[in-house]
Homo-oligomer: A and B are copies of this chain.
Amino acid sequence: MKKGVTINGFVCKPSNNVTANDFFFDGLKNPGQIISPLGSVVTPANVLNITGLNTLGVSLARVDFAPGGVNQPHTHPRATEIIFVLEGELEVGFITTANVLISKTIMVGEVFTFPKGLVHFQINNGAGNAAILAALNSQLPGTQAIAVTLFAASPPVPDNVLAKAFQIGTMEVDNIKSGLASKY
């Protein structure tokens, strides 16, 4: 249990103890280490890293991509996201509630927006590495990586739910589940 006066469940320092380091983070400085089979890695900079963000409604994240790397389709349940390409080029997209894919290839220094709560992805189709900086309007936006959410949750989502949803057999469901399990 934390001690002290809390707001939003986070301890608030007495204002005379606050220092610049409460508003600072150096964890986005270098590319993250890519060990995922997806060929990408996300490094967040939110209220868990920067305590001064508490109640302030914004955060950042850095995503690094190997060639061919994918930041798989995912949602942020509590935030809109706007990205800036730090390096390389990426194909990015989101799907609307009318099931339309809005996508574009974006280059270094270009900006793209993923509206609140919608499924979105980025893929590095280029030959070199790529990286983006993402800004989100929540101090703790949360993430659901869709494939993992559906096929690798614990306990597992029932096979018959997934079979119906994807209109595949339960054996194919199990294959995807075991495929994902073997990779993570």
Contact = CB atoms under 8 A, between A and B. Distances in A.
Interface of A: 1-9, 12, 15-16, 18-21, 23-30, 37-39, 45, 50, 52-53, 56-60, 68, 70, 72-73, 75-82, 84, 86, 91, 93-104, 106-119, 121, 123, 125, 133, 135-137, 142-158, 160-162, 164-168, 172, 175-176, 179-180, 183
Contacts of A136: 58
Nearest to A25: B111
A148 B98 CA distance: 11
B99 A165 contact: no
A30 B19 CA distance: 34
Contacts of A149: 73, 95, 99, 119
Nearest to A178: B167
